[in-house]
Amino acid sequence: MSESTTYEIVLRGHASARLLRPLIDDFTINHDPRGTTSLIGDIRDPSHLHGVLAHLTSVNAELISINPHQPTNANTSTTSDRTR
């Protein structure tokens, strides 16, 4: 059996709790002040990813990106991060 992969799915706008209710147990949900919603969670296999995407498209969520997610280390920062 293959291992799950952590993904970050970014949506345009601030998705409501009602829209995301089926995903709340599987994802951490973050609302960015720039007007996006990020869902970060483990995807077990391709069919799980397709199911998540099917739900999001069925509620007319606008997908911006879907990418494997690498957790950031709080102790590691780059010079460009400090200057912004």
39 domain-assigned: yes
For residue 76 the two structure tokens come to 């590691």
Domains: count for the chain: 1
Residue 31 maps to a domain? yes
Count of residues in the chain:
84
pLDDT of residue 70: 82
User: In which band, very low, low, confident or very high, does the pLDDT at 82 lie, cut at 50, 70 and 90?
Assistant: very low
pLDDT over 90 (residue 7): yes
In a domain, 25, yes or no: yes
Domain that holds residue 38: 5-69
- The arithmetic mean of pLDDT across residues 30-34, rounded, is 94
User: What CATH code is carried by the domain that includes residue 37?
Assistant: 3.30.70.260
User: What are the tens digits of pLDDT across the range 45-78?
Assistant: 999 999 999 999 999 999 999 999 987 765 444 4
Question: Does 74 map to a domain?
Answer: no
% of the chain residues with pLDDT over 70: 82
Q: Would you say residue 49 lies in a domain?
A: yes
- Please give the structure tokens belonging to residue 37: 């919603």
Q: What is the DSSP letter of 69?
A: -
Structure tokens at 70: 């690498």
Which residues lie closer than 8 Å to 17 by C-beta, 6 or more apart? 24
Alpha carbon of residue 34 to chain centroid? 15
Q: Quick check: is 26 in a domain? A: yes
CB-side exposure of 80: number of CA atoms within 13 Å?
Answer: 0
Classify residue 84: in a domain, yes or no: no
pTM exceeding the 0.85 threshold for the entire prediction: no
